[in-house]
Each structure stands twice: as C-alpha cells, then as structure tokens.
Amino acid sequence: MVPPPGGSSMRRSDRHHPRLRALLFVTRRSQGESALMSRFTSILLVSPLADGKTWVLMRDFGYDVGSEGSADRINVSIGFETDFASIPRLLWTVLPKWGRYGNAAVIHDWLYWRQERPRKAADDILLEAMGVLNVAAMTRAAMYWGVRLFGWIAWMRNQADRAAGYDRVLADLSLKAWAISRRRGSIARLTRYGWRKMHRRLSASS
C-alpha cells in the first residue's frame, strides 16, 4: 500500500474518522499553502551550552509569515537561548526535541518568549512553518495539538522568567566550553510566580 502524503501508513478506515480527517485537513492545507509562500530568512546557526539541553543562536534568523517578503517578519535575536521543541522526555523516541521541524520550533520558542502575539497565533505560525519544512502531516498534527493543549505551561514559565528578571537573550556571546544556562527549572519558577500572583490578588481584594 502506498502511504498517503506525509508518510503515514494508517488504515483506510482510520482515515475516514471525522476528527482525524479534520485534523489532517488542517495540517495538509497548511503545508499546501505555506510551502509556496512563506520562508525562513537564513540557515539556523546555533551553539550548544554545556548543560546539554540549551542552544544559543549565533546569527540572525527569521521567518516571513504568510508570504515571502511580507511585512510580517519574525526576527529572532542573536544570543537567544532555545531548547528547540519543548517535548516531554517520555515522548523523545517518537518526537525528539530536534527533527525536521527544528527551525519552526525555534521560531515558536521565540514567539512564546516575546509574547507579542496571542498564544494561538504563535501556534498557528508553528503549523505554517512546519508546512514550509515539509514535516509529515501526522507529525505536524501531533506538534500543533500538543502546543494547543499543553503550551500554556511554557507560556506561563516564560512569564515567570521575565517577572524574575531573567533574559533568554544573552548579551555576551563569548561562551566558554563549560557555560550553562542560568535559567531555573520550570517547577520552581512557576511555583514562585504562581504564589506571587495569588498574593497580589489577595492583597488587592482585601
């Protein structure tokens, strides 16, 4: 049997399931529209930190949303710390942190850090950018709905980082071989951030 576009070998009966059919329609439409229009502005050049999970952007990198040369360009700053795709460790064998979707994941990571657009807009750009990269339809669907359902955790963590004064854009790129990210773990940061927000609300209501 010849797999359908996107490399999936699902059964014919599965492809007729209403929810799956709608999900694949969204991702395939994204690929068909964006692959001919949008583009990344340059290659992605990063350097790893010694913590084994953080990479630093070493040159300009961006993405034109909607169409090549559009007025809507996303420019990721040099020195930005990224962990590529924020995927739980248990799923790395299926969806590793780096794959064909890597460039799109960096753009998405940057949008989640800056938060100058609504979260859904950032997720939709991830979907479009994965189409540009010809990511398989099922992978695009898994990545997109993963961030739609659970991306709020990373979104809030970035809010907590900024509230604590942490900047994910390094000012000094003269990195040493032993350099690691100073970013705290998500649980500790989110706990403190949530407590402070609750305390402010209680103080305001009293």
Two tokens, residue 149: 């359902």
Residue predicted with more confidence, 37 or 201: 201
Residue 5 lies inside a defined structural domain of this protein: no
The residue-averaged pLDDT of 24-53 equals 67
What is the rounded CA–CA span in Å between residue 65 and residue 73? Answer: 6
Which domain does 33 fall in, by range?
12-205
Tell me the two tokens of residue 91.
């799923």
Number of domains in the chain: 1
Largest CA distance in the chain: 67
Structural domain contains residue 98: yes
Could you write out the DSSP letters of every residue in 157-194? HHHHHHHTT--SB-S-----TT----PPPHHHHHHHHH
Residue 157 counted as domain residue: yes
Q: Is residue 7 part of a domain?
A: no
SS3 state at 129: helix
pLDDT of 16 strictly over 60? no
pLDDT over 90 at 109, yes or no: yes
Asked, for residue 46, whether it belongs to a domain, the answer is: yes
Three-class SS state of 73 = strand
Two tokens, residue 84: 């590529």
The answer to whether residue 2 sits within a structural domain is no
Report how far residue 95's alpha carbon sits from residue 71's, in angstroms, rounded to the nearest whole number: 32
Please determine, for residue 81, whether its predicted confidence score (pLDDT) is greater than 90. yes
Higher pLDDT, 137 or 24: 137
Q: What is the pTM of this model?
A: 0.72
User: Is residue 148, in this structure, part of any structural domain at all?
Assistant: yes
Does the residue 177 lie in any domain?
A: yes
Task: Share the mean pLDDT of the chain.
Answer: 77
pLDDT at 18: 45
